[in-house]
């Protein structure tokens, strides 16, 4: 498959993603509290980036990624700022306080989150402070 050039992104196990990334998004007008909305539901992916935002200040956001049947959930307790992009971080380090969990950050680095044969990414709000649009997006490569 060639070298590890700029046109390819390496994933665990030595398999490479195609040079062109794909993009999925969902915007939910007037989201219902505690209702999951899908962002991406596909197979054979390398997940690079997932972002959430909401148009109402003070909403608590959650993300759930199910990869190969394993649920990785984020249960956010803090209130989001309106129209701010929050990137998903996946903590893999065993010595991390939040090992093997998801987190949201406005300053998260862009990089590979995980790879999976089947992935479902969902978002929701757990508070009811308004009816602002809930948006989520995912950048990924298919193999």
Over residues 16-56, the pLDDT tens digits come to 545 457 889 999 999 999 999 999 999 988 888 888 899 99
18 versus 138: the higher-pLDDT residue is 138
pLDDT at 85: 87
Euclidean distance between CA atoms 74 and 23, whole angstroms: 21
Q: With a cut of 50, say whether residue 5 has pLDDT above it.
A: no
**pLDDT tens profile 89-123:** 765 544 444 444 555 665 555 666 788 899 999 99
Q: Is the pLDDT of residue 61 over 60?
A: yes
Domains belonging to the chain, first-starting first, are 21-142 (2.60.120)
pTM: 0.76
């Amino acid at each position: 498959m060639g070298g590890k050039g700029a046109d390819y992104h390496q994933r665990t196990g030595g398999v490479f993603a195609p040079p062109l990334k794909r993009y999925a998004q969902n915007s939910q007008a007037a989201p219902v509290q505690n209702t999951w909305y899908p962002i991406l539901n596909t197979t054979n992916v390398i997940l690079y980036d997932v972002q959430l935002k909401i148009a109402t200040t003070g909403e608590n956001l959650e993300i759930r990624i199910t990869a190969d049947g394993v649920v990785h959930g984020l249960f956010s307790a803090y209130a989001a700022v309106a129209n701010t992009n929050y990137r998903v971080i996946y903590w893999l380090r065993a010595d991390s306080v939040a090992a093997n969990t998801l987190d949201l950050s406005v300053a998260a680095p862009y990089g590979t989150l995980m790879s999976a044969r089947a992935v479902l990414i969902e978002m929701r709000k757990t508070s009811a402070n308004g009816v602002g649009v809930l948006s989520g997006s995912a950048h990924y490569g298919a193999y």
